[in-house]
Amino acid sequence: MVRENFKTDLNELKEDVMFMMDKVEELIEKSVDALVNQDLELARSIIKLDDEIDNYMYEIEEKAIELIALQQPMAKDLRIVFSVSKMITDLERIGDFCVNISKETIKIGKEEHIKQLVDIPKIKEIIITMMKNLKISFKLEDAEIAFEVGKEDELVDDLYKDIYRDILELIHKSTVYTNQGTKLLFIGRYLERIADHITNICEGIIYISKGERIEIN
């Protein structure tokens, strides 16, 4: 009976993490949409959600601590609990980066974009796909899917390099582009870091599945 209760609690913990993943995915989508559409109200609403994401992390963390303290999980179950504790920190950081993107969007305001935003939405689409497949790999504890998701980080890195190059070329042409160009560089960097954190979570899923610590990139 005790073991059955533990399995139930562990499944609830995983469901809580899945819910947090859903919320973070929504923030990624909305933060970039707010930038592209210059929707300042949407950007402000994302900033207000920062505390909500933090609270999800604290609640899941407390549940994980209780599971370890009261149930004393063994082997793979223990790996799940410890890995979840690290995953939610990565998810919280992703939420922070979405807030940072929104703050830069507000600073840009309604000012005409210095270049057509092409690579940033491309990065967003890659990251959203990574998040969707991340959730599948976590639910199934599938190391192979997790590894493939983590490898997508390389595509994000390449696009960020393109953004960096294009913005610097504009700034070199005229200092009038410096202010907004710097903000777009920050946003590109935040998205690149989001992909890094998704990769960290993928490595955690591989650890859960195989008991091996692997660096994907």
The string of pLDDT tens digits covering residues 26-44 is 999 999 999 999 999 999 9
Is the pLDDT score of 59 beyond 70? Answer: yes
What is the domain extent for residue 180?
2-210
Residue 131 in any domain: the answer is yes
- Angular region, 160: left φ>0, alpha ψ -120 to 50, beta rest: alpha
Residue 215 in any domain: the answer is no
pLDDT in the model for residue 72: 73
Compute the distance between CA of residue 72 and CA of residue 13 in angstroms, rounded to an integer: 15
Residue 54 in any domain: the answer is yes
Residue 166 in any domain: the answer is yes
Residue-averaged pLDDT of the chain:
94
The string of pLDDT tens digits covering residues 69-126 is 877 777 788 899 999 999 999 999 999 999 999 999 999 999 999 999 999 999 999 9
Compute the distance between CA of residue 101 and CA of residue 89 in angstroms, rounded to an integer: 19
Cα 19 from chain centroid? 13
Which CATH number fits the domain that encloses residue 204? 1.20.58.220
pLDDT in the model for residue 73: 73
Mean pLDDT of 139-166: 97
The string of pLDDT tens digits covering residues 125-137 is 999 999 999 999 9
pLDDT in the model for residue 67: 87
Residue 184 in any domain: the answer is yes
pLDDT in the model for residue 1: 47
Task: Give the chain's domain count.
Answer: 1
Residue 216 in any domain: the answer is no
What pTM value is reported for the model?
0.94
Residue entry with tokens 């599945």 = 209
Compute the distance between CA of residue 198 and CA of residue 68 in angstroms, rounded to an integer: 25
Residue 217 in any domain: the answer is no
Is the pLDDT score of 175 beyond 50? Answer: yes
Confidence of residue 68 (pLDDT cuts 50, 70, 90): confident
Residue 63 in any domain: the answer is yes
pLDDT in the model for residue 34: 98
